[in-house]
């Protein structure tokens, strides 16, 4: 059960289930037709008792959104959440970005242990924080009724390594799709948030650098070739807003070359199409054990 607030009448603590917490936090599904990132984020922060965090729009390219944070006497504070002004991406990606940043925002005013990777190894901390955050965003997208199977996750370069390795962890062994991992991570942050600034429990025992990605990807190779055109279309659709007018066919050929060369060599080549398509397949077929 989770503590969410004091009741107005008695001041007593109110406890509800994880499912109730998530449903209350997410509210009703946003309308992709007239989606407003700032407005939606402010609604979510209000329901998370974090309305003091300002939400701002700005020219933040190449970012689509981020939490501006600072550490004050061992306490992590979110100063503001920024989203890209006039973000040209499909609404479903913009909705996912808001959910992603709101997950980060739950770190607000949490104590940072002195041995935390946040202080000692920020790069490694980021790998696990973004793994948790992006999968949680996928879980929340599924909860509000959006199909995530044709979405490319952010930080795919992390997920294609961290998720297979997490399958060896008792807590994640039954997880299949990205949203399954995200449910576990969301419950951790919403219910057990005191432990969530410190990812040492994973980073200290899981060897990401020793992960053999090429060997792991072999399990998906046949399906990658079978779904080649579908995967290339998903990759093109996600990237089309950054393609100059009149260059569409040229970039389709680039993506195809990157895909074909990458799956032949089982590593990214001439672009990220191999890693991207592997991440998509892992969410469509399920994350297989390494």
Domain ranges of the chain: 2-203, 213-285
pLDDT value, residue 147: 94
Q: Report the 3 state secondary structure along 88-155.
A: CCCHHHHHHHHHHHHHHHCCCCEECCCCCHHHHCHHHHHHHHHHHHHHHHHHHHHHCCCCCCCCCCCC
What residues does 65 pair with on adjacent strands? Answer: 83
Per-residue pLDDT of 172-189, as tens digits, reads 999 999 999 999 999 988
Map tokens 């929340």 to a residue.
140
193 exposure class (CB count in 10 Å sphere: 0-12, 13-18, 19+)? middle
pTM of this structure: 0.92
pLDDT value, residue 15: 54
**Measured distance CA(77)–CA(71) in Å, rounded:** 6
- Name the more confident of 12 and 73: 73
**Measured distance CA(177)–CA(181) in Å, rounded:** 7
The pLDDT mean for the chain works out to 91
Per-residue pLDDT of 10-29, as tens digits, reads 455 555 788 888 999 999 99
What residues does 2 pair with on adjacent strands? Answer: 16
Q: Which residue in 20, 11, 12, 10 sits closest to 47, CA to CA?
A: 20
Q: What number is the average pLDDT over the span 124-134?
A: 95
Q: What number is the average pLDDT over the span 237-242?
A: 90
């Amino acid at each position: 059960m989770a503590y969410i607030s004091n009741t107005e009448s008695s001041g007593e603590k109110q406890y509800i289930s994880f499912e109730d917490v998530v449903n209350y936090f997410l509210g009703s599904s946003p309308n992709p037709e007239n989606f407003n990132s700032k407005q939606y984020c402010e609604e979510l922060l209000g329901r998370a008792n974090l309305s003091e965090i300002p939400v701002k729009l700005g020219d933040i390219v190449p970012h689509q959104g981020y939490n501006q944070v600072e550490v004050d006497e061992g306490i992590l504070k979110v100063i503001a959440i920024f989203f890209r002004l006039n973000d040209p991406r499909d609404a479903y990606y913009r909705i996912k970005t808001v959910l992603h940043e709101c997950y980060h925002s739950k770190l607000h005013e949490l104590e940072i242990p002195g041995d935390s990777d946040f202080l000692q190894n920020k790069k490694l901390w980021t790998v696990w924080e973004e793994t948790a955050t992006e999968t949680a965003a996928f879980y929340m997208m599924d909860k509000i009724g959006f199909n995530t199977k044709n979405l490319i996750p952010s930080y795919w370069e992390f997920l294609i390594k961290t998720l297979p390795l997490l399958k060896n962890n008792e807590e994640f062994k039954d997880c299949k799709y990205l949203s399954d991992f995200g449910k576990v991570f969301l419950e951790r942050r919403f219910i057990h948030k005191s432990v969530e600034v410190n990812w040492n429990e994973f980073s200290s025992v899981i060897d990401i650098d020793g992960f053999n990605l090429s060997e792991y990807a072999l399990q998906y190779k046949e399906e990658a070739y079978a779904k080649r055109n579908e995967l290339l279309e998903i990759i093109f659709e996600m990237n089309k807003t950054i393609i100059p007018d009149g260059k569409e066919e040229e970039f389709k050929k680039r993506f195809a070359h990157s895909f074909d060369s990458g799956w032949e060599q089982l590593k990214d080549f001439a672009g990220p199409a191999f890693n991207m398509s592997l991440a998509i397949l892992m969410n469509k077929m399920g994350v297989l054990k390494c």
